[in-house]
Chains A and B, each alone.
Chain A
Amino acid sequence: MTGKLELVHILEGHKGRVWGVAWHPKGGTFASCGEDKTIRIWSQNVNNQPTTKTILSDGHKRTIRHISWSPCGKYLASGSFDATTAIWSAVSNEFECNVTLEGHDNEVKSVSWNKGGNLLATCSRDKSVWIWEVTGDEEFDCAAVMNSHSQDVKKVCWHPTEDLLASASYDNTIKIFRENTLDSDWECINTLTSHDSTVWSIDFDSTGQRLVSCSDDKTMKIWQVYPPGNEEGIVTPDNIPAWKCVCTVSGEHTRAVYDVSWDKTTGLIATACGDDAIRVFKEDPENSSKNEPTFNLIAKVDGAHSQDVNTVSWNPKQPGQLLSCSDDGTIKIWKIVE
């Protein structure tokens, strides 16, 4: 292995399992959430040591599963097992929850803002994906409810440049949604099948031409989009772009892979695994092509946490800095050295 993942900080504070961590779009600050029903906002002090700045504890009645910052960094959305999504707004260093979105029948598993910050997607064990439109200052309208998945929806993730939404599910598939320009209805335009079990997480690369997915089947897959009229001659019925699985990484992870993060700056992919390890993959420039990329494991930390790793997230502003959280109750900050 040509790289090394170095531990920079261990952060404690949550009681019990930490489910999610998310960098603020400006880097520096991040948020975390977990089974203790709280959200912690962490900031680095003068010694670069991250400390808890605020604890938000009055928003949810059950586990907080996932959090996501709006692109402007002013809002934080949190999805909870209590079936609601809370919107927190930052007002002069304080966070207030002024909006609670209700509609899902049961656990909300993931929340995601689009690039423009005017759309928020949520998904749930109730098998549906909802899109909420920001219609005014802290006002949200439900723009669409999609019932395309046949099971629990685990993750939603917006395309980095277009209003294209991807979702991952317990039904082993990934689906892509977009708004139909004719009737402004949101619809499922692609169903990506190849995983043999629950797809836990997905992330796009910086261009949005590729998507990475990870699964309970212990694999990681890379998907490539082929627009209508592509030179490879991949069929695109109804002029809808086609997504093809171009790479499967198997034999590396020994248990379910719970999360995957694609560094938009370096192109590195990190995974969070139920075998307590964190792995970093890099595309091999010599043995890769657009249609047949090869991804090599360049760094691996066995026992990165003492229990399952739940989330990994690359810092959007400091390339190579990685955040992780675990069932062991800790959050860690890592640095990749190549």
Chain B
Amino acid sequence: MEVENINPSVYSKAKQRAHTAADDDENLTDPFDTREIFDLIKNINDPEHPLTLEQLHVVQESLIKLDNDQNEVFINFTPTIPHCSMATLIGLSIRVKLLRSLPPRFKVTVEITPGTHASEAAVNKQLADKERVAAALENQNLAEVINQCIRVL
């Protein structure tokens, strides 16, 4: 398969989360924060390059919104080029990774960062359709590709 974006910009990774005394306090409630969500998805592999979504700035902590009380997670992801044909696959990988990692009470929405892709509305609609997502995951070939993307190296 031909690589669409031959020379993507590569960014440095975020530092490890700093350890604080509160981390060891078992009596504190420890709600999810955006960094935790980011840590779950930052190492997803790009389908085209031997790089992670974090290194390509496809996902960024600042583009994650989280509401613990409403149980809502909202992710914007940014394809490296506006005609990237992998956008749906990347979005699916983020969705699947979070569906498998987060408690089921969370409602996860994954959308393209506004203005960064030619087929933004179509891709967003497809990613939001849980019936299509469910059917896609029953497709063994596609499921294998997604599992490759979210595999922990």
A residues with CB within 8 A of B: 17, 35, 62-63, 65, 81, 106-107, 109, 125, 152, 154, 170, 197-198, 216, 255-256, 274-275, 306-308, 327-328
Judge whether B49 is part of the interface by a CB distance below 8 angstroms. Answer: no
With contacts A255-B107, A274-B107, A307-B104 taken as known, whether A62 is within 8 angstroms of B138 at the C-beta atoms is yes
Question: Which residue in A63, A154, A197, A328 is a CB contact (below 8 Å) of B134?
Answer: A63
**B128 partner residues in chain A, CB cutoff 8 A:** 216, 256
- Tell me, yes or no, whether B105 is within 8 Å of chain A by CB: yes
Are B131's CB and A109's CB within 8 A?
Answer: yes
Asked if B135 lies at the interface with its beta carbon under 8 angstroms from chain A, I say yes
B104 touches A65 (CB 8 A): no
Q: How far is the CA of A152 from the CA of B138 in the complex (A)?
A: 17
Chain B, Cβ-Cβ closest to A254: B70
List residues of B whose CB falls within 8 A of some A CB: 104-105, 107, 125, 128-132, 134-135, 138
How far, in whole Å, are A255 and B71 apart by their CA atoms in the complex?
A: 13
28 interchain pairs (CB within 8 A)?
A17-B134, A35-B134, A62-B135, A62-B138, A63-B134, A63-B138, A65-B131, A81-B134, A81-B135, A81-B138, A107-B135, A109-B131, A125-B132, A125-B135, A152-B129, A154-B131, A197-B125, A216-B125, A216-B129, A255-B107, A274-B107, A274-B130, A306-B104, A306-B105, A307-B105, A308-B130, A327-B104, A328-B104
Report how far A189 CA is from B130 CA in the complex, Å.
Answer: 30
Q: Tell me which residues across on chain A come within 8 A of B138, comparing CB atoms.
A: 62-63, 81
* A254 CA / B128 CA spacing, docked (Å): 14
- Besides the contacts A125-B132, A154-B131, what 13 more A-B pairs have beta carbons closer than 8 Å? A17-B134, A35-B134, A81-B134, A109-B131, A125-B135, A152-B132, A197-B125, A198-B129, A275-B107, A306-B104, A306-B105, A308-B130, A327-B104
Q: Which residues of B contact A307 (CB under 8 A)?
A: 104-105
User: Which chain B positions have C-beta within 8 A of A306?
Assistant: 104-105
Chain B neighbourhood of A328, CB < 8 A: 104
B128 CB, min distance to chain A CBs, angstroms: 7
The CA of A307 and the CA of B134, in the complex, are separated in Å by 15
Evaluate whether A198 and B125 lie within 8 angstroms (CB atoms) in the complex, with A255-B107, A306-B105 already known: yes
Nearest CB in chain A: distance from B145 CB, A: 18
Smallest CB gap from B70: residue in A: A254
Q: In angstroms, how far is the closest chain A Cβ from the Cβ of B75?
A: 16
- Can you name the residue of chain A whose Cβ is closest to the Cβ of B105? A306
Q: Which residues of B have CB within 8 Å of A107?
A: 135
The 9 closest A-B CB pairs, nearest first, are A81-B135, A107-B135, A62-B138, A307-B104, A81-B138, A63-B138, A63-B134, A198-B129, A306-B105
Contacts of B134 in A (CB 8 A): 17, 35, 63, 81
A256 CA to B129 CA, complexed, in Å: 9
- For A65, the chain B residues whose CB sits under 8 A away are 131
Nearest-neighbor residue (CB-CB) of A216 within chain B: B128
Contacts of A154 in B (CB 8 A): 131
In this complex, what residue of B is CB-closest to A328?
B104
CB neighbours of B135 from chain A (8 A): 62-63, 81, 106-107, 125
Instruction: Provide the bound-state CA to CA distance between A189 and B132, in Å.
Output: 28
Q: Which residues of chain B have C-beta atoms less than 8 A from A255's C-beta? A: 107
- B131 contact set on A, CB distance < 8 A: 65, 109, 154
Cα A106 to Cα B139 in complex, Å, equals 11
Question: What distance in Å separates the Cβ of B39 from its nearest Cβ neighbour in chain A?
Answer: 24
Q: Kindly provide the distance from the CB of B109 to the nearest chain A CB, expressed in whole angstroms.
A: 9
**A216 contacts which chain B residues (CB < 8 A)?**
125, 128-129
Contacts of A327 in B (CB 8 A): 104
Which B residues lie within 8 Å of A198 (CB)?
125, 129
A256 and B109 alpha carbons, distance in the complex (Å): 12
Cα-based distance from A275 to B72 in the complex (angstroms): 10
**How far apart are the CA atoms of A328 and B132 in the complex, in Å?**
18
